[in-house]
């Protein structure tokens, strides 16, 4: 099987490796000449045999929209575009309509796994027509974790459903990370607890709060005891905001997710929160998101 992959950054580059390891012929395009296989999007489509499948893995918003527009001019009827970035689900109907007018199919796919996906596989949430999803299933099977398909892949519904599911997934992630961060701060504040990192590590096996995120927090603390090298300044990439907006639209009381989002806002106005340091460290551990060093000043 052959496919095109647009965007060879932290996740896209690892996805290319995982796909190739599974025997899929991947032609990649990236603006950086040191990693790209072809010189342009047009060259990418020329290099692929029909019917083409092109996976887009670029930043959400205008970078993705402009990529889809360019592909709509160079692809042919019967081809398929998959947006695997963190696009807002409302963009999917626009992309699908643009491509449909040219006879090109569209799937939106939420992807979770961060920088660890190469080794562990990626959790996938797709939206689109059944026949389109079926045609791309060898790609999804190559990317997802090993084991039963339903434990790492879902065809969530029509176009937009995949990114909607990923948006809510990331909203939940905000709440989970902040709960771990608050627990870490409470443990740090109590003199009776002399081994905070060891306590958190003891929770990673057998307890009801064990999780991969907790394991990553322990890893971050082992690498940087007390998280002394980073500030508590914590950014957000949009999905938490969108989840809160949807909670308001559906009148769902999303108290935890909202509070976690607002805490990130507060981190940019105040300094010295161990809980927010933990959240920032977790984002770096699972997604490779940048952290602000403690010595750096932020305008």
Q: Which domain holds residue 237?
A: 166-287
Q: Which residues contact 292 (CB under 8 A, 6 or more apart)?
A: 230, 231, 233, 280, 298
User: Active-site residue among 42, 148, 166, 294?
Assistant: 166
Give the number of C-alpha atoms closer than 13 A to the C-alpha of residue 6, restricted to the C-beta side.
27
Q: Establish if 143 belongs to a structural domain.
A: yes
Q: Establish if 24 belongs to a structural domain.
A: yes
Residue 173: active-site member: yes
Q: Which of 140, 157, 174 is the last residue of a domain?
A: 157
Do 283 and 225 lie in one domain? The reply is: yes
Residue from 99, 94, 226 nearest 160 by CA: 94
Q: Which of 157, 178, 197 is the last residue of a domain?
A: 157
Do 196 and 256 lie in one domain? The reply is: yes
User: Active-site residue among 88, 173, 239, 277?
Assistant: 173
Residue 299 confidence (pLDDT) above 60: no
Do 36 and 79 lie in one domain? The reply is: yes
The model's pTM is 0.89
Q: Which of 106, 139, 157 is the last residue of a domain?
A: 157
pLDDT, averaged across the chain:
94
Do 10 and 153 lie in one domain? The reply is: yes
Residue 298 confidence (pLDDT) above 60: no
Do 84 and 212 lie in one domain? The reply is: no
Q: How confident is the model over 70-110, as pLDDT tens digits?
A: 999 999 999 999 999 999 999 999 999 999 999 999 999 99
DSSP state of 211: -
Contact 21, 56 (CB under 8 A): no
CATH code, 146: 3.40.50.720
Domain count for the chain = 2
pLDDT over 70, % of the chain: 97
């Amino acid at each position: 099987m052959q496919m095109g992959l647009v965007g060879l950054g932290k996740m896209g580059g690892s996805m290319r490796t995982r796909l190739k390891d599974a025997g899929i012929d991947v032609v990649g395009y990236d603006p950086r000449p040191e990693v790209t296989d072809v010189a342009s999007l047009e060259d990418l489509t020329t290099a692929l045999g029909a019917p083409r499948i092109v996976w887009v893995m670029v930043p959400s918003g205008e970078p993705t929209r402009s990529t889809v527009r360019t592909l709509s001019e160079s692809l042919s009827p019967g081809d398929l575009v998959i947006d695997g970035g963190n696009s807002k689900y409302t963009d999917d109907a626009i992309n699908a309509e643009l491509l449909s007018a040219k006879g090109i199919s569209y799937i939106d796919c939420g992807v979770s796994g961060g920088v660890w996906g190469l080794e562990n596989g990626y959790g996938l949430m797709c939206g689109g027509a059944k026949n389109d999803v079926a045609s791309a299933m060898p790609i999804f099977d190559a990317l997802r974790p090993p084991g039963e398909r339903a434990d790492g892949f879902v065809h969530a519904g029509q176009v937009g459903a995949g990114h909607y599911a990923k948006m809510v997934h990331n909203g939940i992630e905000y709440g989970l990370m902040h709960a771990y961060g608050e627990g870490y701060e409470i443990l740090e504040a109590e003199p009776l607890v002399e081994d905070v990192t060891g306590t958190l590590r003891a929770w990673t096996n057998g307890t009801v709060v064990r999780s991969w995120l907790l394991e990553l927090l322990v890893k971050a603390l082992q690498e940087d005891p007390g998280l002394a090298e980073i500030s508590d300044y914590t950014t957000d990439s949009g999905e938490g905001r969108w989840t809160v907006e949807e909670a308001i639209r559906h009148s769902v009381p999303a108290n935890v997710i909202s509070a976690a989002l607002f805490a990130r806002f507060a981190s940019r106005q105040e300094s010295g929160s161990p809980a927010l340091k933990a959240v920032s460290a977790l984002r770096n551990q699972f997604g490779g998101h940048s952290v602000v060093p403690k010595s750096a000043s932020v305008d």
